[in-house]
Structure formats: structure tokens, C-alpha cells
Structure 1
Amino acid sequence: MFSLCHEYAHLIFHRDRDDVAGPQQRYKSRGRAISPEEKVANHFAACFLVPESALRKQFAMQGGGWAYEETVMRLKGTFRVSATCIIDRLSKCKLISPQNASYLWAMANRKGWLRSEQQPIVEPLNYQGRLRILCRKAWESGTASELFIAELLDLDRKGLSVLLAGWYEEQEAGYFE
């Protein structure tokens, strides 16, 4: 996903440049001499995928303060980006001290995270939980039919019946009003 957002940033920010020759254009993408175009594209992708307000909230839920490897791994899983992206965002959003950032970058370098991703995310995205919540809200407001909800959630008649029975029961109990 990061790569897709990164390339999208090139389309947004660099398409009008006279020296951009399309996909074959080569930018220095690693090391100290990284090109300004790559910095812009990386920054855009990182901000898009790891918004500061969401990172602040998630970091606070992890306990805030000093970030450890475990903190980075949890946030990495939450935002589905690389560990180095999380370290970069924690630092740029000033959620960690410069000393903590140096500690994390040294660890990332020592463990090879700059070359090979630690604990890569292999499971596919799952929007089913969010989709179910949105379906419930639409059902409660009367803007989605039961048939439409069944199609969206890929439920047969029995599955839909069980789902709706639970929703009705919760409504009658006054849990969600």
C-alpha cells in the first residue's frame, strides 16, 4: 500500500515537471543523497497511511512515552506499514524524543529492518467488521434493505435471520438508541 501511495504522490506532485520522463525516470531513493522528489513521495505516503491524529491516539493507547521494539511492531500492525515508517512518523510527529528516535533507528539498522521487513504483514485486509457496522447503521436508519445487507455481508437467509435477530434484541434491550 505504501508503494501505491508513494507512486500516487509522484503523479500528484511531479507530473508537471519538465525533467520527469515517466516511469523510466530514476530518482535516488536510498541513502543520504535521496532526491527531493522521493522525499516528497515518501512523506505523502507516510502521512496518508499514518495520519498524525490517529498515530497520537494509538501511541497513547500503547502507553506513550518511550517507544520500544514492541511498540513499533504493534503500531506497524495497526497501520499496516513498515516498522521504519512507524519510527519515522513517531519522530516527525514529535511523539518520541530525538534520543528515542536514535535508539529505534540504531535498532532498525542493527536488525536489518532497512533492508528486510521485520514481521511482514501477510494476512489480507479485512473490512468485514467495518462493513458490518456500516450495514447496522444503515439498517437502523432505514436506508438499507435487509436484502441489500445480506448481499453486502454475503449472508444466506439463515445467517441474515440470526444477524437481524441479534440486532432487534439489542434494540429492544435499549443498548443502542
Structure 2
Amino acid sequence: MFNKSRLKVARQRAGLTMRELAARVGIEPRTVTGYEAGEYLPSDDVAQKFARVLGFPLEFFAADDLDIPQVEGVSFRSMSKMTARQRDGAIAAGAVAFLLSDWLDGQFDLPHADVPDMREELPQTAAAGLRDYWGLGNRPIKNMVHLLELKGVRVFSLGEDGKEVDAYSLWRGVRPYVFLNTQKSGERSRFDAAHELGHLVLHKHAAPNGLEAEKQANEFAAAFLIPEAPLRAAGRIAGLPKVVQLKQEWSVSVAAMAYRLHETGLLTKWNYQQIFIEISRRGWRTEEPAPIRREQSQIWQKVLSEVRRDEQLGLGGLSELLSLPEGELEKLLFGLVTVGVPSAPRTAPVTPPRGKLRIVK
């Protein structure tokens, strides 16, 4: 049986409108609309054309319904930069990620979600409360991706072309998800991760969209990554060199550190303005001084190491098990892992033994 939800996801992942897909397949646009609405089924010939044009195996379209994120439940880091086509493609990536995540749950014992609901708290209060709840104290957070994974958050990348497609997060039942644009600098990706964590704790199962929700998530991220107390211990800041030193200590962008210092009253308005002018003059809005290394995933490094050791599986075997193109799996893990996983042909379905992954702080 041809699955309408899978046709829509594959089309959106290919970045095509229904009219564009119809033109490539050689059918009427209204016909594609009917297929996606489930009004009727395509012939075998048309189904094969869909698979060829969209780059998905034919078996993908014959499997069960996909769990597709709802637009109103998705928190995008920035909606203004994206076109509707880019937004739909990024959300469709969530449906593919759910398939990979469900396979992961079936093969490994991983941490359950430990992300509290703090909807009644102010952003800065929630940030301090979550640090206390997780036992982080006021020390710098070494790795945001590792921390999220340790607390049961599934982290994926958005391997889309261009930086317009920004980070987003959502709850799927009891499991929180974060999708990061890993083409950004390491500092900005860390802030995105903290921003999305803010949405997860402040706007759980709500409609986390709009300027006010974004403002709250930004306030949370700044307070979570850079607690106020240790900043005050450093005293009033007068010059850019000290700002750069603190940005290295807390692994945030120099612009974010300057803003946080001004927000907490440690930079006067005049000093903040002068420092920001100098940051812009030096090109540090896009290229960071003393950049940090990009954060990577512990879970996916360990999982893919297991896949690599299984010569019968490989990434090609995993894509076959899930009826997904290898390219879709690679996009979801782009920037989160460093080691490529070679494909390996399989002669029979292989299910690796269930394992237990240990995540360290």
C-alpha cells in the first residue's frame, strides 16, 4: 500500500512543491494533491517514478505511517530567515529523525528524558533552577551536546544547504528533540543548543513561537551558559581583551559575552557600544577570536562505532533496514560525528544485539 504521509515527507526533503514534483514525474499537479490526501493510490509505474525523482527507495513509500512534527509544536531558532519550503524540509527531517531515533531505542538502552517542566518560571530563574536541578553549580558547561544527551535529549543536525535553516526543538511524547545547524561556529551552535533547551523547559507542549517566546529562550540561554554570580566576581569590565578572555572561559561568542556583561551591569552602556563597534570592525560577528572546537555527539559516535564493527551492517545496511537513503542519515548526523561510516552490502537482514551505551559527563 502506498503511504501518503511518506510521499509528502520525501517531497519536502527533496525541496519540491507538488507542482514541481508533478512536472518531473509527468502527471497533473492535482493528481499529486490527491495522492498526498489519500484520495487514490498511484500506479506501480508512477510510484517507481516518485522513488526515482525523490531519491528514496520504493520500500520507503510502502511502510507504516510516519510521525511528522506539527508546525505549531516546533520551536525554530529564527523563522524570519527561512522560506516556507526550507521550513517544511527541516520539519520533514524531524520525521526521518524519528525513524532513526526509534531504531536507536530498539537497539540500545539510553537515558530517559530528565528535562523538567518550568513553564511557571521566569527565564533567568528557570536557568538557575535547572543548573541546580542538574547539579551543574556555576561552573562553565564543557559540552552542551553531551549534556543534552546525558539528560535524554535526542540531538540531530540539520544538514541543509545554507545557514537560513536554523535550530529547532520539540517534544515528542516524553522525549525531547533538538536539531542544530552545524554549519555555524561552535560558539553559536552552543548558544542555539541552550536556546532550544530554554524552549523545552519553558514552553513544554505549548506553541513556542513568536517574538516573546524567542526573547524568553534567549534570556534563558544567556543565563544558563553564563551564570551571573561568577561574572560579578570578575568585577566591572572596561575593555575588549577582558571580554575575549571571558568568552574563552565560558565558550560563547564574543558578542554574546559582551551582551551578557552589559545585561548584568558589568559593562556600561557606553563601553558596551564601543566594544560592539570594535567587535564588528574586526569581523568578529561572523569569525570568532580564539574559536572553540565544534561540539560533537557521544551517542552517535558510539552507535556508529558499533555499526562500523558490524561488517554486515554498515551505514548502507542501516539505511536499508530503515528504508532510507544514506544521504538522509548523513545529514542528520553531519557535524555531530567525525568518522565516516563505510557502507557494506548485506546478504540478509541483520539486527545487532541490544547494547547499553554509557554517557559520561
Query: Taking structure 2 as the reference length, what is the TM-score of the superposition?
Result: 0.27
Q: Which residue of 1 aligns with 2:260?
A: 89
Q: Which residue of 2 aligns with 1:8?
A: 197
Partners of 2:202 and 2:248 in 1: how far apart? 29
Bigger shift: 102-111 or 45-54?
A: 102-111
Q: Which residue of 2 aligns with 1:42?
A: 218
SS at match of 1:105: helix
Partners of 1:98 and 1:16 in 2: how far apart? 38
Aligned length: 107
Q: Which residue of 1 aligns with 2:300?
A: none
User: Per-residue deviation at 1:49?
Assistant: 1.1
2:231 to 55, 59, 69: 55
Question: Would the alpha carbon gap of residues 75 and 14 (structure 1) be closer, same or farther in structure 2, given more than 3 Å must change?
Answer: same
The structure where strand makes up a greater share of residues is: 2
User: Per-residue deviation at 1:36?
Assistant: 2.5
Counterpart contact for 2:248–2:290, Cα < 8 Å? no
Partners of 1:12 and 1:85 in 2: how far apart? 21
Matches within 5 A, 1:63-74: 64-66=236-238, 68-74=239-245
Matches within 5 A, 1:149-164: none
Q: Identify which of structures 1 and 2 has the higher relative contact order when contacts are C-alpha pairs closer than 8 Å and 6+ apart.
A: 2
Partners of 2:287 and 2:280 in 1: how far apart? 10
Are positions 1:107 and 2:278 aligned together?
A: yes
Q: Which residue of 1 aligns with 2:290?
A: 119
Find runs of 4+ consecutive structure 1 residues off by over 4 angstroms: none
Residue identity opposite 1:40 in structure 2? Q
SS at match of 2:229: helix
| 1:108-142 Cα deviation digits (max 9, x unpaired) | 22222222322211398xxxxxxxxxxxxxxxxxx
User: Per-residue deviation at 1:5?
Assistant: 1.3
Partners of 1:114 and 1:123 in 2: how far apart? 17
Question: Would the alpha carbon gap of residues 123 and 41 (structure 1) be closer, same or farther in structure 2, given more than 3 Å must change?
Answer: closer
Query: Taking structure 1 as the reference length, what is the TM-score of the superposition?
Result: 0.53
Partners of 1:112 and 1:36 in 2: how far apart? 29
CA-based RMSD: 2.4
Question: Would the alpha carbon gap of residues 122 and 15 (structure 1) be closer, same or farther in structure 2, given more than 3 Å must change?
Answer: same
Residue identity opposite 1:13 in structure 2? L
Residue identity opposite 2:193 in structure 1? L
Q: Which residue of 1 aligns with 2:206?
A: 17
Partners of 1:79 and 1:37 in 2: how far apart? 25
Partners of 1:55 and 1:99 in 2: how far apart? 19
Q: Which residue of 1 aligns with 2:137?
A: none
Percent identity over the alignment is 32
